[in-house]
Amino acid sequence: MANRTSTIVHDVTESRRYEVASALHIALLEMEGTHSIKELLQMTLDEAERMTESSIGFFHFVAEDQIGLSLEAWSTNTITKMCNAVVEGQHDALDKAGVWADAAREKRAIIHNDYASLKDRKGMPKGHAEITREVVVPVLRGEKVVAIIGVGNKCRNYDESDIKWLGFLADIAWDIVAKKNAEEKQTILQAQKYVIENMAMHDSLTALPNRRLLSDRIGQAIAQCRRSSVMAAIILFDLDKFKPVNDTFGHGIGDVLLQQVAIRALEALRRSGDTLARLGGDEFVVLLPQITAISNAVKVAENILHALSRSFEIESHTINISCSIGIAIYPLHGEDELTLIRHADDAMYKSKSDGRSCITVFASDSAGVTEGI
């Protein structure tokens, strides 16, 4: 009768543990998107402690090269009541870690029910809880150990049942955490890719679109204009006598001036779809897609001319500059990017020859002359 009763109690305990493990699995899946890896692991450790009647719990990741260990989480009880010796994220060499790391080195679960008697154990760092007994289980994927989970200080000896359930919980947590970790790494890689691509398409000094991005947007604008039978404008300008600024105040002041020119020119644009780009040096280009009249482009050019005519105050220096502006209109002055840029450049140099600080619209007559404004 006693054996029968013992079997029933054991079966009830096993059944209850399956229920707890299943509930944990569901909870971790529901929390995956809103909680950190540390939080998910800590929740697993808290349940592992309760299931094994322990008071200490830890979760380490093992490096891909099987050389390093990183402490990823402690149980709530360990942090709040038991130990303040180390923090999450601490890295150790596997071959120098204590006897608890034998689980990773030997790829098998280990039980130390008389921790104090171990000959090879190492002294605990200051602030570490005293260990009386422990069980540590490796998480294996293929031939490699990917993590180890451990609990300690049960009031009686650990046994094979503790190994079974600790490993069960660790497997549940690892699969969810590994998926989340992979997703986070992918997100980081995508963000890095975006940054790299963004840098390749923008000027490093002013953060404006560079020639590559401008070319792409001009191509889109031309395609839109062809479908809608409207015009687009290329406004090209550079700063008059920018070289003396560099020579007098230094390139550092010159760079700040270019940044402030970019800010003022952007403020002079009237539509969010307009583009200001820097071609290099002190040369800038404005793309105005889908305009209805040449006067639309001239008005924007006038705004830029007036914005840059105001003094710039840079590091106690007052700097006065102006700009020369040339305008080319699609399709009146060209039907492709290179032609439009070239004609806007011709118009800009006409502005310079006319005394600078003025606007010229390219004229598409047979002589190729330009019209000043």
Show which residues are catalytic. 282
**Spatial separation of the C-alpha atoms in residues 205 and 262, rounded to whole Å:** 10
Residues 359, 372: contact at Cβ < 8 Å? yes
Number of H helices, E strands in the chain: 10, 14
**Spatial separation of the C-alpha atoms in residues 31 and 236, rounded to whole Å:** 54
Count of CB atoms situated within 10 Å of the CB of 39: 13
Nearest to 340 by CA among 233, 229, 212: 233
Q: What are the φ and ψ backbone dihedral angles of 125, each rounded to 5 degrees?
A: -65, 160
Residue type, 102: D
Residues 168, 109: contact at Cβ < 8 Å? no
**Spatial separation of the C-alpha atoms in residues 360 and 343, rounded to whole Å:** 11
Sequence-separated (6 or more) residues with CB below 8 Å from residue 273: 289, 290
Decide the pairing of beta strands 359-362 and 322-330. parallel
Secondary structure of 146-192 in the HEC alphabet? EEEEEEECCCCCCCHHHHHHHHHHHHHHHHHHHHHHHHHHHHHHHHH
